[in-house]
Copies of this chain bind each other. A is one copy, B any other.
């Protein structure tokens, strides 16, 4: 079984009615706030077809230390603080250690 040191994040959030696009834009800002060299390898922001106000996102980090340091850094923490007022409830989600990561676009 392969294994990597890469650290993965899944999050699911429901915006206040009509605020999903603001939430998406802010998540995109949060993802870039750490800078190009913060260790965030890839991320996606996705709408949920079954719920017009819900999005879910994934992040893949070079390791957990990079994730922890970046999310605590002021630019990212400041952007993240602006998320909660847009949400109906606390975000759900999970962390993970990436066992397989395969990207055909980089072949």
Contacts and interface: CB of A to CB of B under 8 A. Distances in A.
Contact of A106 (B1, B40, B49, B105): B105
A8 B55 CA distance: 12
Interface residues of A, number: 40
A100 B41 contact: no
B99 A47 contact: yes
Q: How many copies does the complex hold?
A: 2
A93 B17 CA distance: 23
A21 interface: yes
B50 A94 contact: yes
Interface string A52-83: 00011010100000000000000000000000
B24 A100 contact: yes
